[in-house]
A and B are shown apart, each in its own frame.
Chain A
Amino acid sequence: MSVIPDDRLADLTREELSRYSRHLLLPEVGLEGQKRLKASRVLIVGTGGLGAPLALYLAAAGVGTLGLVDYDLVESSNLQRQIIFGTRDLDRPKTAAAADRLRSLNPDIRIETHNLRLTSRNALQVLEGYDVVADGTDNYPTRYLVGDACVLLGKPNVYASIFQFEGQATVFDAGRGPCYRCLYPSPPPPGLVPSCGEGGVMGVLPGILGAIQAAEVIKLVVGGGRPLVGRMLLLDAWLMRSVEVRLDKNPDCPVCGKSPTLTGLVDYEQFCGLRDDREEEIPSVTAGELKRRLDGGERVQVIDIREPHERSLFKFSGAVPVPFGQLVRRKDEFDPGTDLVFICKIGQRSLYAIRALREAGYPGPMFNLKDGVNAWAREVDPELAVY
């Protein structure tokens, strides 16, 4: 059944009949399906790797109103995958640059830009006016925020997420299937799983997953096919293997279960442990301080926890390479009488490395290189590239 009620349908113009003829020729879509697309209001949260193909395909498909939420500016490292932007869009707000591109693709549709950070205070208001929400965000607090808000508002949440070569896609529709919290009751502690900003991502991967989201949005609007409700598609683009798994509703889910305990939005930063002040307990050194200590011949051992391919982008001379995933089992190689300084790209995984070694009982002094080797490139050796 379509999420668009019949009383909102309006006729297509002559131009629209031509533009959408390849949809109209499909008996499963046809004139009625295309009218539903025209009447539909779809919100895309995050105009990044997933949001880019999603917005392009939905605009091309004739979704009548597309909402875009983002607060970022276009950066050069976005262009490897965020194909809605061009080089000339650098430093522009993503929502504005995307809106221009979409209007040139399809001038007949309405684009509503929300150039803001989605929060517990504004989310219900922003999401309320749309029929379907597509989540293309890049962090856990916003994932839980969008997930909960969709349950509370009774809206389907067309979901995809990506990491390196791997993607997950499903439709969370709590009225007839599980929600995000049913699948993942709690988020990983910060730093446990590296971000795409640290771990990288194959540029075409969000293209594939975003296109899957677009297909699911179109099916919900047209009201046909078999939506990805209660099942999740997992794709490994490197092995090019896809697997489908079954997702069940959790009867004890705090937001969509039988007796929900969560009836409003909460503080998602706190829920995701981002207000955790454990980081303060870990001593850090700045790039400048480390340089002075090394130049002064102090007893300091730098441990580079990056993977070999990443180290080759930026060689830190004198550092001992021990990849993050081998630290605990190789902890006896370190000298507890020496100050160890852990380095990574941005100084986030190195924090977790120190925590993991502490938990494994390593007794010696450990320091974190604040803001990672990128800070070293900015502050100490400008010949090196920030990556």
Chain B
Amino acid sequence: MAANLLVPTALRGFTDRQAEIALEGGTVGALLQALVARYPDIGPHLFDEQGGLRGFVNVFVGEANIKGTGGLDTPVGDGATVMVVPAIAGGAPGQAAPR
């Protein structure tokens, strides 16, 4: 049951610059755990201390956000495309902030 995980540019520093990774896992949660097992540094960027997905990270299976399809328990079919989409802002966080 391999699925294709698309890694966004912002997180490729944690996956040896890999943009696509084939991973095993019947659910989104299992798939992401397999990713973290391979690249531990990416963990804190995806999950909070309670193991939930962080608020600035969205995961899509195909074109559907897992928020509407069962969250981390969303099943991932063989050959499915899973995409991690974090918030990106451009410039310099902390330097151009409003008061």
Residues of A with Cβ closer than 8 Å to B? 48-50, 72, 117-120, 123, 137-143, 145, 161-166, 168, 183-188, 190-199, 201, 206, 232, 234, 236, 238-239, 243-248, 250, 268-269, 272, 274, 307, 323-329, 348, 356, 359
The answer on a CB contact under 8 Å between B93 and A195 is yes
A141 to B6 alpha-carbon distance, docked (Å): 27
Residues of A with C-beta under 8 A to B90: 48-50, 137-139, 161-163, 195-196, 201, 206
Contact with A along B1-27 (1 / 0, CB 8 A): 000001011100111100100000000
Cα separation A50 to B89 with both chains bound (whole Å): 11
CB pair A188–B56 under 8 Å, yes or no, is yes
The closest CB in chain B to the CB of A243 belongs to B83
Please, which residues of chain B bring their CB within 8 A of the CB of A162?
88, 90
Instruction: Please measure, in the bound complex, the distance between the C-alpha atom of A191 and the C-alpha atom of B92, giving whole angstroms.
Output: 10
Q: 15 A-B residue contacts at CB 8 Å?
A: A117-B98, A120-B98, A142-B98, A143-B89, A163-B10, A163-B89, A166-B88, A193-B45, A194-B10, A195-B92, A232-B85, A239-B19, A246-B65, A248-B65, A269-B97
- Chain B interface residues (CB < 8 Å from chain A): 6, 8-10, 13-16, 19, 39-42, 44-45, 54-56, 58, 60, 63-65, 67-68, 83, 85-99
Residues on A with C-beta less than 8 A from B65 are 245-248
CA separation between A107 and B22, bound complex, in Å?
55
Q: Per a CB cutoff under 8 Å, which of B8, B41, B63, B96 touches A166?
A: B8
Q: Which listed residue (A49, A139, A234) contacts B95, Cβ 8 A?
A: A139
Assess the A325–B54 pair: CB atoms within 8 A: no
In Å, the complex CA distance between A190 and B90 comes to 13
List chain B residues, Cβ under 8 A from A326: 41
Instruction: Report B-chain residues with C-beta under 8 Å of the C-beta of A194.
Output: 10, 13
Cβ–Cβ < 8 Å partners of A50 in chain B: 90
Using Cβ atoms and an 8 Å threshold, which residues of chain B touch A183? Answer: 58, 87
- Which of B9, B41, B45, B96 meets A138, CB within 8 Å? B96
Which of chain A's residues have a CB closer than 8 A to the CB of B67? 248, 250
Min CB–CB distance B33 → chain A (angstroms): 16
Is the Cβ of B99 less than 8 Å from the Cβ of A161? Answer: no
The residue in chain A whose Cβ has the minimal distance to the Cβ of B68 is: A248
CB distance from B54 to the nearest CB of A (A): 7
The minimal Cβ–Cβ distance linking B25 to chain A, given in whole angstroms, is 20
Contact assessment for B98 and A145 in the assembled complex, using a CB-CB cutoff below 8 Å = yes
Residues of chain A contacted by B56 (CB below 8 angstroms)? 184, 186-188
In the assembled complex, the CB of A162 is this many whole angstroms from the nearest CB of chain B, namely: 5
In the complex the two chains form, what is the Cα distance from A138 to B58 in whole Å?
A: 20
The 8 A-B residue pairs with the shortest CB-CB distance in the complex, in nearest-first order: A138-B91, A186-B55, A138-B90, A325-B13, A163-B88, A325-B14, A166-B9, A185-B55
Contact across chains for A272 and B87 when beta carbons are under 8 A apart: no
Given A188-B54, A356-B41; A164-B92 close (CB under 8 Å):
no
Q: Determine if B91 and A196 form an interchain contact, defined as CB atoms under 8 angstroms apart.
A: yes
Complex Cα–Cα for A283 and B19 (A): 35
Q: Provide the residues of chain A in CB contact with B14, threshold 8 Å.
A: 325
Residues of A within 8 A of B8 (CB): 163, 166
Question: With contacts A192-B45, A246-B63, A325-B41 known, is A269 near B98, CB below 8 A?
Answer: yes
* Chain B hits for A348, CB < 8 A: 94
The answer to whether B91 and A168 have CB atoms under 8 Å apart is: no
| Cα–Cα distance between A118 and B56 once the two chains are bound (Å) | 22
Contact between chains at B88 and A193 (CB < 8 Å): yes
Tell me the complex Cα distance, A186–B52, Å.
13
